[in-house]
Structure formats: C-alpha cells, structure tokens
Amino acid sequence: PSTHAIAVSPIEVIYPPYNAEEQEVGLRATMDKDIDLYKVANNRLVTAGPQLHFMLTRFRFSMTQMMDMLRDFTFAGNSTYYSTACRWLRGHTSVWEAWLLSAEATRCSDGQGLVAEGGAFTTNLSLAVSCSHCSAGQHSQRHVEGTFETRVCVPCAAGKSQKVWGADACTPCALGYSTGLEGQVQCERCPKGSFANATGSQTCLACPDGTTTD
C-alpha cells in the first residue's frame, strides 16, 4: 500500500454475504466476506517448498498492522521498506511465529516418522510438516540432520515383518516362514516341500530328495 493511505485514514469495508438472486438482477453490492489475494503461484509448491507453503497459508496482516507499518515508514525518518519491515518483525514476534512451522512439529517420538504435506511419509526433513505413527509393515528409525534429531518411518526389510502400527522394530520371520519383499505386514508360511530353518529367512529352501514337509 502507498503511504498516501495514511492521509485518508482507510477503513475496512465488509460487504454483505454473496446473494445469487441479487447478482442475477444486477445488484453487485454483495460478495464473499474474505478474499485471499495471492502473488505466489507454483502448482508444485506443496511438494517443492512445504515449509514456504505452510507459511503462506497462515500469512495474515490486519489493517491496523499495515497502517502501523506505513506510519512507521513515514515518520521514522530516513527509513527504508527493509528497515521498517525489520522493526516490525522484531516488535511482533508473536504474530509472525504463528506463520512458521515449529521445529517441535517435526521432532518425532518413538513409533513415529516424518510426514510431508498431504500426509505421505517422508525421510526428507526439509519436506516434513508433522509426525505420524508408522503404518503396519514399517518401523520407526532414528534420523539425524545436523544437530536436529527426529525419527522416520522405513519399510521392514526382506525377511522381516510388522503387523502393528507405531512399531520401533520389525520382527524376523519365524522358522518355517519367509518373505523376500520389503514392507510386509506378515511373513508367508513355506509351501509344502520347502522349509526355512533360520529366523529372518527371505526365501524357503526346497527339501532334499526323498524328503518333504507337511
């Protein structure tokens, strides 16, 4: 907004709620109460910059705050837009901190993992916006980036499975069972004529000639 707005003392105008019947007969005095104006456009912003997307969805300025900044810019003397913005940020931390994704939101506990915008699990901290309990077939694993420690959900390795949610480890396949795939909810029993004589087996072995299994 221009600093000329100070001289005219603008006020907020709220139109009545939208009325389709009035619109049809040419009465254009009604509209939605809130209209969001966007100057940032990127159809991949949710995945390319989730933390920026998080901030933009919460970015709000009231008329009072805007006018306070304009007055500060006008009367501070030798002020720039940058210095005015900096003064406002220093004096209104409680306002803009609500726009930011808190680090605590991505400090996941045991049994949890990082979640990206949209709800999908991620192992990339820069894409994460929250935490959620790991699904069946996964386990929670410690994850460190710099000095920040959190947890991520990773699929169970071949030879292991996990049937419950929020687990910190996967269970090796029992004797007589195996799985050669990752992310399994349960291991499969070896078919007749094969066996698995070790826990955590990824494949079942064929019985030697002249022998079989039930």
Strand partners, 128: 116
Query: If you average pLDDT over residues 29-45, what whole number do you get?
Result: 60
* Share of residues in the chain with pLDDT > 90 (%): 39
Cβ-proximal residues to 28 (8 Å cutoff; 6+ apart), any chain: 22
pLDDT tens string 100-142: 767 778 889 899 999 998 889 999 888 888 899 999 999 999 9
User: Which has the closest alpha carbon to 125: 104, 102, 152, 100?
Assistant: 152
Return the higher-pLDDT residue of 67 and 183: 183
pLDDT at 30: 62
Q: At residue 208, what are phi and psi to the nearest 5 degrees?
A: -60, 160
> What is the average per-residue pLDDT within 149-157?
95
pTM, entire model: 0.56
CA–CA separation, 85 vs 81, rounded Å? Answer: 6
Residue 26: both structure tokens together = 């040419």
Tell me the H-state helices in the chain.
5-8, 20-24, 45-48, 50-58, 63-75, 81-91, 93-96
Dihedral sign computed on CA atoms, order 114, 120, 123, 129: negative
pLDDT: which is higher, 158 or 34? 158
Q: What pLDDT is stored for residue 141 in this prediction?
A: 95
Amino acid 19: pLDDT: 77
Over residues 169-178, the pLDDT tens digits come to 999 999 999 9
The closest alpha carbon to 138, from 92, 184, 87, belongs to 184
Tens of pLDDT, residues 63-76: 888 888 888 888 88
